[in-house]
Amino acid sequence: AEYDLLVLNGLVVTHDNTVELDIAVKDGKIAKLSPRGVLNGGMAKKVIDAEGGMMMPGGVDAHVHLDEPALFGKGETADNYETGTRSAIAGGTTTLITFAPQRKTEPSLLAALAATHARAKGNCYSDYSFHLICSNAGPKAISEFAALRKAGVSSLKIYMTYEALQLKDSEILDVLFEARKQKIVTMIHAENGAIIDWTIKKLEEKKLFAPKYHVTSHPPVAEIEATYRAISLSGFIDVPILIVHVSSPAAAKHISDAQRKGLPVYAETCPQYLFLTRKDLDKPGFEGAKCVCSPPPREGEQDHEGIWRGLEDGTFTVLSSDHCPFLYDNTEIGKKSVISSEYPNGHFKYIPNGCPGVETRLSLTLSANRLQLQKFVEVTSTNAAKLYGLYPRKGALISGESDADLTIWYPEGMKEFELTNSMLHHNVDYTPYEGRTMKQWPRYTVLRGEVVWARDEGGLIGKKGYGEFLKRDVSSLAGCRSEEWDVENF
């Protein structure tokens, strides 16, 4: 046969177009996009009839924590590369960019990269790539940025909070300065660690330990101040940054102000900031622990509205999951230290920060029926590929250029259902979205021409080890604004 796969009769939705076309796949690539009637079933080994369906570029989730050791001293992530990437494809996401974490006691980033490669290799259902978490920004790490680029890593994440990870402002400047030279995008976790630690102390003095106090201990000002500081530091160096997991509309305002001035400031938000509030942490007993993440879910509808608007107006470049999986029922490392006679419902500060969500990201967002479809594709796939140097191999359906990664939806024939954790493919014992009404779920996920998820025909049919490591190039979004940077000019 001329082609390996044809997807016929559907509506193709990309970030810049919505059009009825048939798709032909050959050797894992998009070979042709063709008007109706040109391609026919006899021309391929396999045919999907997508009548009534929508074909989108496969989801790209650029913020996922898998198989990270106990970096925060609070237990290891529950998903490894096998279970995390399996969960991804079942939810329509074909590419993950996960983290390769460097410990503070480890001067080398390349060592952290090698260790993470070893954890991922041969275990992945989806394609994958790594951001380096730089928690030791000493001379050794800085000297390795060029080698990281050669190894296909064009982004780093740094933290302004968490004792085990936090960098001083001077270290942030060191990172940004070298990132500028090497054309690396720096992702910044923007929360003021001192404000958080101080507030935790105040809550402890009053013996307030319940999970809900996690929200109180991470006030909006911690996020707002750090966001503005991150923008200021990156503006000084003139280098692109991405502020990760933004939850506060007031922080988003600093970001959009910077963008209006033309600064290369990009931002990310996550489903938890669209669908959860502090009430989700205020549940009897330890239940609230399921929604502990940082920054925390905010007050309510007004905050959600602000974040949706930021997605619509382009303040947010990407919508990632920040899948950071911990077992609720982990008595070994989790609950044992979290719960004591002094705090029988747990102590918020010992609850590992993070929620699972790699599998639910696309369906939850699409089910909310809030974003225009092209905007949905842009923030859940295309922009992540552009920002992190994967475009147009990923995030697009361009013949001859893009991998044949597709998420295929059938919104019309879809019956609403209630989400339960038992449907999901991660290794976590809960979902923060238990019981939600879902209106959408991908019927097919296609990765490089192979059907890896078929909701009604076997479910997960991809193979462990099919996922490939993706070497990334420089960002294709706007970078620094001037060629030269000289300290004498200030």
Number of chain positions touching Zn ion (CB under 5 A):
3
CB of 79 to ligand URP, least distance (A): 13
Contact flag: residue 354 with ligand URP (CB under 6 A)? yes
Among 214, 245, 335, 349, binds ligand URP (CB under 6 A): 245
Q: Which of 159, 228 has the CB closer to ligand URP?
A: 159
CB of 294 to ligand URP, least distance (A): 4
Q: Which of 65, 361 has the CB closer to ligand URP?
A: 65
The rounded distance, in Å, linking the Cα atoms of 406 and 10 is 12
Query: Up-side HSE of residue 165: CA atoms within 13 Å toward CB?
Result: 23
Q: Which of 190, 454 has the CB closer to ligand URP?
A: 190
Residue 218 exposed, middle or buried by CB count within 10 Å (0-12, 13-18, 19+): buried
Contact flag: residue 293 with ligand URP (CB under 6 A)? yes
Give the distance, in angstroms, between the CA of residue 487 and the centroid of all CA atoms in the same chain.
35
Contact flag: residue 294 with ligand URP (CB under 6 A)? yes
The rounded distance, in Å, linking the Cα atoms of 210 and 185 is 37
**Residue keyed to tokens 């400047």:** 173
Q: Which of 157, 394 has the CB closer to ligand URP?
A: 157
Taking alpha carbons only, the member of 268, 282, 272 closest to residue 310 is: 268
Instruction: Specify the amino acid at residue 433.
Output: Y
Contact flag: residue 353 with ligand URP (CB under 6 A)? yes
**Residue 446 touches which member of Zn ion, ligand URP, none, C-beta under 5-8 Å by kind:** none
Contact flag: residue 247 with ligand URP (CB under 6 A)? no
Listed in order, strand segments (DSSP E) in 27-72 are 29-34, 44-49, 54-57, 59-64
CB of 77 to ligand URP, least distance (A): 9
CB of 320 to Zn ion, least distance (A): 8
Q: Which of 285, 300 has the CB closer to Zn ion?
A: 300
Among 189, 212, 214, 278, binds ligand URP (CB under 6 A): 189
Residue 107 exposed, middle or buried by CB count within 10 Å (0-12, 13-18, 19+): middle
CB of 322 to ligand URP, least distance (A): 5
Contact flag: residue 322 with ligand URP (CB under 6 A)? yes
Among 79, 322, 378, 403, binds Zn ion (CB under 5 A): 322
Site string for ligand URP, 65-104 (x = CB under 6 A): x---------------------------------------
Among the residues of 46-105, which ranges form H helices? 81-90
The rounded distance, in Å, linking the Cα atoms of 325 and 90 is 16
The rounded distance, in Å, linking the Cα atoms of 419 and 438 is 6
Q: Which of 356, 462 has the CB closer to Zn ion?
A: 356
**Residue 462 touches which member of Zn ion, ligand URP, none, C-beta under 5-8 Å by kind:** none
Q: Which of 136, 294 has the CB closer to ligand URP?
A: 294
Contact flag: residue 212 with ligand URP (CB under 6 A)? no
Q: Which of 65, 298 has the CB closer to ligand URP?
A: 65
**Residue 353 touches which member of ligand URP, Zn ion, none, C-beta under 5-8 Å by kind:** ligand URP
Angle between helices 249-260 and 220-237 (to 10 degrees): 20
Q: Which residues, including other chains, have CB under 8 Å from residue 338's CB and lie 6 or more apart?
A: 286, 289, 346, 347, 350, 351
CB of 189 to ligand URP, least distance (A): 5
Prior bond to 296 cis, omega within 30?
no
CB of 406 to Zn ion, least distance (A): 27
Mind giving me the DSSP string for 262-273? Answer: T--EEEEE-THH
The rounded distance, in Å, linking the Cα atoms of 271 and 281 is 16
Angle between helices 220-237 and 193-205 (to 10 degrees): 160
Site string for Zn ion, 174-203 (x = CB under 5 A): ---------------x--------------
Contact flag: residue 324 with ligand URP (CB under 6 A)? yes
Q: Which residues, including other chains, have CB under 8 Å from residue 168's CB and lie 6 or more apart?
A: none
Among 304, 347, 426, 472, binds Zn ion (CB under 5 A): 304
Element (H, E) at 100: strand 93-101
**Residue 304 touches which member of Zn ion, ligand URP, none, C-beta under 5-8 Å by kind:** Zn ion
Interaction site with Zn ion (CB under 5 A): 189, 304, 322
Interaction site with ligand URP (CB under 6 A): 65, 189, 245, 293-294, 322, 324, 353-354
